[in-house]
Structure 1
Amino acid sequence: MKKYALIICFYFIGNTVFSQITELVTGMTDPGRMVLSSTHLYYTDDDNVYRLALSIPNAEPELLASGMGNPNGLALNGDALYIAEFDANQVSRMDLSPANFEVTRNATANKPNFLHWHGSSLYVSSNTTTSRYVGRYDDPNASTNSTLLAAVAAPSTTFYSFRTCGL
């Protein structure tokens, strides 16, 4: 029995050691927040939003929007990309169907960090020293000026919303 356990252990260790990372894009400044669709990878850096075609080998990133207020979170819902702009205190919406990629302010939020879609609601979190919450926008696609309807988690000294994985 020990022999089989040892073989299985070496197998998993060996696979970990020989795994390879494939770099898709290099030379970026602070890449981070990202969301994946079936054909594209959307990601942000300090103040820009990019799209990378996954079906094209050695694809160049396409700049969709620049001058954003520290885009921290991304959420994709159909042809709409939602962007949590931390420094601008807002959640913006980008329509991905036309070629001009127009960005409109969708909602005001206090230092939004991360976004997550669940059903027809968009959840947003904030984790500053003065603003720690998880809130919900119901059906933000129906309006270009959504309001935060509910605080899902109340602020406390031990609540850190950036540590939550999903809703």
Structure 2
Amino acid sequence: MKQLITFALFLLIGGTQLVLGQLTNVVTNLSTPYRMAIHGNNLYFSELTGNKISMIDLSTSAPIAITLISGLNKPKDLLVIGNELYFTTANKISKIDLNTSTPEAVDIVTGVNGPDGLTPFGNNLYFSTGNKISKIDMNISNPTVTDIVTGFSLPSDLVLNGNILYVAEESGDKISKIDLNNNPPLVTEFVTDIGTPTGLFLNGNNLYVANFWSSNILKISLDISSPFAIEFLTSVSGPTSMLLFENDLYITEAWGGTISKINFSTLSNPEINKTEAIGLYPNPASNIIHISGLTNKTEYTIHSVLGTQINSGSVSNKEGLDIHQLQKGLYLLNKF
């Protein structure tokens, strides 16, 4: 199998590279922060290797992490419903009452294989587990797990848009979707060749993907018939989840042990983010890459990380560039 080649895309406008903004650290020195949930001004987050759930007060200028509950077995996803915080651990789903000063975990269902993404739909709580998506009825005191769909490749996070459930397949290199109104539910591939999707975040008609091993955030428009992923944020140290609070996008950076943020309104402003629609896919790639969002034929160059020009030419929107002759490594693709 040919080894993959990774590209960094630089967009030059009038000879000047447009810089959109940088991440700001909110809290550091965490033990693999994984997922987040918001309740009032409090941001709750799981610390996967710290075996605990912690919190910070976002109304303070310098938030300090406080342990909410410890002694857990690899906590992952979090979900706030009312005043209760639902969370997954290695083999169960539990909840705590956020109104109590010393919360204690109450198990909802046990004996589950590595549950992760939590999403409510009606009276049901959907979650990923093993290679499948399952659900429980939240109105029942001792619910029974019902499997909805099987055959996924390490499903991690879930996000719901109407009756469509999006599934990040961390080992499957893709996002799939399930129409929950169908019986049986209908599963289709949504976007493929996107790396290791670990966390999902829905804002308006855009789906954002935390791409763990590629250390970036991808963006997918839900408005087009043939959706594809474009790079939204780079240099994110092992992102696993995203959460919007007021005008800031909060991101868990698992490798860096950090929760960071960036002004989301600035990133989403079309007057500032003039290159937002330009994308490169698939990335990494082995044979062909495509540049999306071009309005006309555009000149490009490919350089090594040492600055040596490897190739040049012109390309149209979504036209394939042959890169099969390149050796494994990181290259810079300049579009101007």
Pairwise same-fold verdict (TM > 0.5): yes
Within 5 Å, give how 1:17-166 maps onto structure 2: 19-85=63-129, 87=130, 89-110=131-152, 111-128=154-171, 131-139=172-180, 143=183, 145-148=184-187, 150-154=188-192, 156=193, 158-162=194-198, 164-166=200-202
Q: CA deviation at 1:122?
A: 0.9
Match of 1:7 in 2: none
Aligned equivalents of 2:186 and 2:151: distance in 1? Answer: 8
Which is greater in Rg? 2
User: Is 1:90–1:108's contact at 8 Å kept on the other side of the alignment?
Assistant: yes
Gap runs ≥5 in structure 1: 1-13
What's the offset of the Cα at 1:97?
0.5
Q: Distance in 2 between matches of 1:100 and 1:115?
A: 23
For residues 200 and 140 of structure 2, the distance between their equivalents in structure 1, rounded to whole angstroms, comes to 34
Change (3 A) 1:41 1:163: closer
1:9 — aligned with what?
Answer: none
Runs of 4+ in 1 over 4 A off after TM superposition: none
CA distance in 1, matches of 2:119, 2:104: 22
| Number of positions where the alignment pairs a residue of Structure 1 with one of Structure 2 | 143
* RCO comparison, higher one (Cα < 8 Å, 6+): 2
User: Is residue 91–residue 109 contact of structure 1 (8 Å, CA) maintained in 2?
Assistant: no
Structure 2 residue ranges without an equivalent (≥5):
1-59, 208-336
Q: Secondary structure at the match of 2:126?
A: strand
Offset of 1:164 from its aligned partner? 4.7
Structure 2 CA distance for partners of 1:72 and 1:163, relative to 1, 3 Å: closer
Please give the root-mean-square deviation of Cα atoms over the aligned residues, in Å: 2.1
Q: Give 1:26 shift.
A: 1.3
1:159 Cα deviation from its structure 2 partner:
2.9
